[in-house]
Structure 1
Amino acid sequence: MRGLTPALVVMLASLTVAASPFHAKRFRKKHLEDQSYWNQLAQRELARAMNLKNNYNVARNVILFLGDGMSIPTLTASRIYKGQLQGQGGEEGALSFETFPHVGLSKTYNVDKQVSDSASTATAYLTGVKTKYKTIGVDGSVVYKDCASVNDENKIYSIVKWAQEAGKRTGVVTSTRVTHATPAATYAHVADRDWECDGAISPEDKERCPHVLDIARQLVEEEPGMSINVVMGGGYQNFDAGADGTPTDPLDTQWGSCQRNDSRDLVRLWKEKKTDANVNWEFVRSRTALRNVDTKDTEFLLGLFANGHMPYEYEKRDNNLDVPTLAEMTETAIKLLSQEPKGFFMLVEGGRIDHAHHDTVAHRALDEAVAMDRAVEKAVQMTNQEDTLIVVTADHAHTMSISGYPSRGQEIIGLAAIGDDGLPYTTLMYANGPGYNYSVMPGTHQVMRPNITEDEVISWDYTQLAAVPKDSETHGGDDVAIYALGPMAHLFHSLHEQNYIAHAMAYASCIGTNLDHCSGSSTQAASISGIILSLLAALCWRY
């Protein structure tokens, strides 16, 4: 575009946009959306609201779905994206959990930051206590990176431990490393979220704080980690000092900076501990192996499907990888955990929504959100809302926005319109990140944006434009949504502090504190109904 006059730039940009196959796509409405249509639609919605009744049952099971970085704009864009994958306009549809009857908002700030990270937020919604930036499983008295500040008094325990103490099974499923911030908050206590393996802890800190184990060791060697029944995700290199970084498949390149150097093989130790405890266990590293797990005869399952983070869902599809989807991991976990009549607690994280946003690759972020939506659908199908509370939320927001007055049904990952500079821009953009890409016209002080085409913007690798240069896009400080279905779902009803989520889930399932409302008859009835539902579920899965 350099050396071209502004008028010629406008003309060329207009021709590019007009010729784009995206702009030839228009949403075709199947019916006339006149006043009668909208009035009838509103009346149906009003009737559903008037007929809504609160469910005061005890939640035998609780499933928390966490979309990492799943901001409200991400939800809106993903809803449209999902509809457009199905050949619809998209705006009129919904993600499965957006039809849940109860909705609230969560404030995501932490003890020392307006805009938080995934470690501090995970600590809040899993332990019920807000804490400092980048710390896990400890309260706000701990100093970031100071291992000596961690002690038994300031460690805080998650709802996973509360559920285990009540005799329930527990599970953690993620598309990230199982030692990453979100899953780690179910079992670990560290002053630095990056201490995923011993290689990330300095020699000085190891000598100063021998009582503080790395996150992977805490999962295998300490409670409540060693008693979690199902753990599935990536991060194999954090458990095996013998892992040399060789990918198990061409796309297994997400190794990260942490590798064991203490000669430990924690996977072998996990197997030995389970064998010594005389429990049935399975360790799997592929989708094929996962499908062969006998969930009726397995008490503990460890699945590590990648050396680092698991591949994106589109990579699994496009390359026919032997790696399970988030929905498939969720399905297997529910089957195994449901064998316990007292019920279970499970965390399922769609973790790579966040990673795609940090790279300002919106297409991947939306696809990961839709993948988590499929996992939620699977969980709803496999459980009963009379005894299972399902909560869907996010830990924090991102800086992606939806803008530009695009037409109804316009492709959400495509172009929005023409700017005043005569150049097209995308509907989805970021406030900061690696997508910053501007130049100055020769001989002037006029800033020029690149001329983008539709073929570029709809690819899996396209980096959205950003206003401020950053190697990695930052989180956003927005409130995030909470959706709930099942017993006590109405407890999520307004604007909440993020740490409230753990307390509400525990109250609903009669674990942890606040047990005054839990009569013996109600919990016994929940246990009996759980046995019946488990038997019925087993018959359904078998036949």
Structure 2
Amino acid sequence: RIEKGTREGLPHPSAARLHIDEAPAAALVTTHSEDGLVTDSAASATAFLTGSKVPNGVVSWRRASDGTVDSLETVLELAIRQGLATGVVTTTRLTHATPACTFAHVPDRGWETEIAAALVPEGGNPRLGRGIDVILGGGFREFLPSGPTRPGTRTDGRDILAELERSGYQVVRTRSELAQAAAANSEKLFGAFAPSHMTYEIDRESTSPNEPSLLEMVQSAVGQLRNKPNGFFLLVEGGRIDHAHHDTNGRRAIEEMLEFDEAIGWTVDALGPDALVLVTADHDHSMVLAGYAPAESGVFSQAGTDVNGVPYSTILYANGPGGEVPTELDESVLRNPDFRERAGVPLRSETHGGTDVPLYLFGPRAKERTSRATIDNTEIYGILRDEVLGGSPKS
């Protein structure tokens, strides 16, 4: 928000408003997992997509008390069962934790080649039926066989992209192919635009111009789904916000959030007041804004000096890799996309945080959907389930 205000030239940049700030209703969300004070993305996504708490690292799966395996039905699978169209859009690998929790059921989020196989219609996950209608993101290596001249990681020899094509998907790999497919209004669309995670938005045009932006993927997905007769369920993840935080890379995290917010604003405007749009985070991070920098300095500024006279910036992290502390922290240093913010506890990767996260609600009866200021992430599932089933909103 502050960075947006700086770009808009506001006297006090904190006065800027993001698209999410226009939501008519909001709540705070607790995010702990079954076995941790702080959740990982798999456990959190499982919670809001299935209504069940699971241990960290588990993807929409749990072992029942009698030892049997319970593949927890997800909101996306429920939507398919109810005849709705479905879609998944992410800037991470499609087999990464959050998107995987919509369609896969495994005890370990690291089983990414198995997660990829679940997307083949009538294959690894029979609940998907004829398949998810639109699937867009990164990580094509998990769908292709490995070998000296092959770009994949699969050791079973399967070419999942070819299997998806045989199942009726139009498979696209570039930004231009996505635009052409969107114009053709393909019946089923699969796009994987990078071998692993997609490129950060701030770097995309200069280093990976063939990759679409998150906004472009959302526009394509909504264009494919909005004319389906029974409505649709679409999960959109701005997943690289998380990755930038793990690197204590505040500039990239903020740029990713601004792109995500643009996608939210476009979606709310495009779908109108009759569409339910929920916006939340699967977990917190350890980033904080601290010190007493003047308002006009913006978020990429020096906040002060520590007891040793060493300068510190407005953005700090409780833990993480951090970076070398320069003797001067001017704006050119802090706005460098590769600059790593200072971290309190040195770690190879910054951790998630356990603080409550916001939930924003747009659409019909938004204020009725939650009657309490703080809810658990499992209760988000109830809101989504009731909308998919067409029932009354859940408090």
Tell me the TM-score normalized by structure 2.
0.92
Q: CA deviation at 1:469?
A: 1.1
Distance 1:297 1:123 in 2: 31
The one-letter code of the counterpart of 2:167 is K
- The alignment partner of 1:232 has SS state of strand
Partner of 2:141 in structure 1? 237
Distance 2:183 2:46 in 1: 30
The amino acid that maps onto 1:184 is: A
Q: Which has the greater radius of gyration? A: 1
Hey, what does 1:434 align to over in structure 2? 321
CA deviation profile, 1:25-72 (whole Å, cap 9, x unmatched)? xxxxxxxxxxxxxxxxxxxxxxxxxxxxxxxxxxxxxxxxxxxxxxxx
Q: Is the 8 A contact 1:241 1:264 kept in 2?
A: yes
Instruction: Specify the alignment match of 1:22 in structure 2.
Output: none
Aligned pairs (5 A) from 1:323-472: 323-385=211-273, 387-435=274-322, 451-454=327-330, 455-472=332-349
User: Cα distance 1:503–1:295, how it changes in 2: closer, same or farther (>3 A)?
Assistant: farther
| 1:488 aligned partner, one-letter code | R
Q: Which structure is higher in RCO with an 8 Å CA cutoff and minimum separation 6?
A: 1
SS of residue in 2 equivalent to 1:109? coil
Residues of 1 paired with 2:26 and 2:281: CA distance?
13
Q: Cα RMSD between the aligned structures? A: 2.1
- Which ranges of structure 1 fall in alignment gaps of 5 or more residues? 1-78, 143-148, 198-213, 248-257, 275-280, 438-448, 519-543
* Counterparts of 1:365 and 1:337, CA distance in 2: 29
Alignment length (residue pairs): 385
SS, match of residue 13 in structure 2: coil
Task: Report what 2:382 is aligned to.
Answer: 503
Give the superposition deviation at 1:382.
Answer: 1.1
Percent of pairs with identical residues = 37
Contact 2:33 2:55 in 1 (8 A): yes
Pick one of 128, 131, 135 that aligns with 1:227.
Answer: 131
Q: Give the whole-Å Cα distance in 2 for the aligned partners of 1:509 and 1:217.
A: 26
Is the aligned partner of 1:117 residue 2:33? no
How far apart in 2 are the matches of 1:408 and 1:164?
A: 49
Indicate how the Cα distance of structure 1 residues 262 and 431 shifts in structure 2: closer, same or farther if over 3 A, else same: same
Closer, same or farther: CA 113–141 of 1 in aligned 2, 3 Å: farther
One-letter code of the match for 1:305? F
Q: Contact 1:434/1:469 (CA < 8 Å) preserved in 2?
A: yes
Please state how far the C-alpha of 1:320 moved relative to its aligned partner.
6.2
Within the candidate set 193, 196, 201, 2:109 is matched to 193
SS in structure 2 at match of 1:451:
coil
Whether the aligned pair in 2 keeps the contact of 1:397 and 1:476 (CA below 8 Å) is yes
Counterpart of 2:118 (choices 214, 218, 240) is: 218
Superposed CA deviations along residues 484-523 of structure 1, whole A, max 9, x for unmatched, are 0112322134211101101112213425xxx4x49xxxxx
Higher strand proportion, which one?
A: 2
Instruction: Encode CA deviations 1:420-463: one digit per residue, 9 max, x unaligned.
Output: 322211000111111165xxxxxxxxxxx652432322200001
One-letter amino acid matched to 2:352:
H
Question: Take 1:223 and 1:411, find their aligned partners in 2: how far apart are those partners?
Answer: 51
Instruction: Work out the CA distance in 1 between the residues paired with 2:53 and 2:17.
Output: 31
2:48–2:378 contact (8 Å) kept in structure 1: yes
Pick which of 133-142 and 174-183 moved more. 133-142
1:476 aligns with 2:379: no
> Post-superposition shift, 1:294?
4.3
- Stretches (4+) displaced over 4 A: 242-247
CA distance in structure 1 between the aligned counterparts of 2:64 and 2:252, rounded to whole angstroms:
38
> Is the 8 Å Cα contact of residues 315 and 321 (structure 1) preserved in structure 2?
no
Corresponding position of 2:366: 489
SS at match of 2:89: strand
Letter in 2 for 1:160: L
**What 5-or-longer segments of structure 2 have no aligned partner?**
none
Hey, what's the Cα distance between the residues in 2 that align with 1:141 and 1:397?
Answer: 29
User: In the alignment, which residue of structure 2 is the partner of 1:285?
Assistant: 173
Q: Map Cα deviations across residues 350-401 of structure 1 (whole Å, 9 max, x no partner).
A: 000000000000000000000000111110121021x200110000000011
Match of 2:84 in 1: 168
Partner SS, residue 117 of structure 2: helix
Report what 1:523 is aligned to: none
TM-score (norm 1): 0.68
**In structure 2, do the counterparts of structure 1 residues 509 and 157 end up closer, same or farther at CA, with 3 Å as the change threshold?**
closer
Q: Is the 8 A contact 1:110 1:133 kept in 2?
A: yes
Q: After the TM superposition, which residues 237-316 of structure 1 pair with which residues of structure 2 at under 5 Å, given as runs?
A: 237-242=141-146, 259-274=153-168, 281-294=169-182, 297-316=185-204
